[in-house]
Amino acid sequence: MALRLVQNLARGFRPPQALAAGAGSLLSSSATSSSRLRPQEAPQQFQARRGYIHWGRLTPHELALPMSTMPHDIRALMKKDPKEMDYYENYWYWRIRGESVVNNPAELPKLSYNQLARDLGLAQATEMAEHMVGMLELYEYLQYAPFIGPFGTIENPVLCPSVHNERIVGCTGGSGDNEHVVLWFRCFEGFLYRCGECDQIFMLVRINYELPDGADPFPVPPDVKDTFDWELLESVHKL
């Protein structure tokens, strides 16, 4: 009985009643030998159970909504204003409009850049949009990049840009013999701050970018036709 129990334990089989039967040190030694075999078997069992690839890239169809979310009345959907739609309506509106334009080889080469971008639901590269993106990129650069420039004085302080009315600033004094241990302090809007080590002057400059009330941040250019042509969808179905 003991020999058969040892053989079963070495194979990975552990009967619940045999452990309580009392095989003494024989059970403990056999359990130790079986535990040594488990680390070799565990990765194989884990790989067999795993049914996904966590490093796989997403494809467009994996991000698409199911067909059950499509509105029943497509004609009424394409007549609505995209700004007044919910998430599902907005998704299907731009998907139908974009695919209808792309699948029309006769009219596709005749479209302008602004018209094609609007039909695909993309933002047009207007002067206002470029200015907005430029301001955001400038702030992101100034937010993390170190300040490089002349020594700050009362007449010409070091300007610290911020979108808030305060910012934490660290002063190192400069380079070479003028460098000192970083001294951190808070800079508030409307005040000049002097470093306690090198007497360098700092001043916070608040960056504001806002639009007038009711203004559209992404206006449609005047040369763009922003109405969906239902005949375009019918011609695509004929193809």
DSSP the chain: -HHHHHHHHHTT---HHHHHH--THHHHHHHHHHHHHHHHHHHHHHHHH----TTPPP-GGGSSPPGGGS-S-HHHHHHS-GGG--HHHHHHHHHHHHHHHHT-TTTGGG--HHHHHHHTTPPP--HHHHHHHHHHHHHHHHHHSPP-SSPP-SSSPEEEEESSSEEEEEE---SGGG----EEEEEEBT-EEE-TTT--EEEEEE----PPTT--SSPPPTT---S--HHHHHHHHH-
Which amino acid, one-letter code, is at 96? Answer: I
Contact 207, 135 (CB under 8 A): yes
pLDDT of residue 116 exceeding 60 = yes
pLDDT of residue 24 exceeding 60 = no
Share of the chain above pLDDT 90, in %: 15
Instruction: Say if residue 117 is exposed, middle or buried (CB neighbours under 10 Å; 0-12, 13-18, 19+).
Output: middle
Higher pLDDT, 209 or 157: 157
Higher pLDDT, 176 or 152: 152
Least confident of 11-15, 103-107, 132-136, 146-150: 11-15
The model carries a pTM of 0.49
Determine the Cα–Cα distance for residues 41 and 12; give it in Å rounded to an integer: 10
Higher pLDDT, 91 or 142: 91
Contact 101, 232 (CB under 8 A): yes
- The residue whose two tokens read 């009330």 is 213
pLDDT of residue 196 exceeding 70 = yes
Residue 203, strand partner residues: 159, 192
**Backbone φ, ψ for residue 172 (5° rounding):** -110, 0
* Mean pLDDT of all residues belonging to the chain: 75
Determine the Cα–Cα distance for residues 78 and 85; give it in Å rounded to an integer: 11
pLDDT of residue 75 exceeding 60 = yes
Least confident of 33-37, 119-123, 143-147: 33-37
Maximal C-alpha separation, the chain: 97
Residue 166, strand partner residues: 188
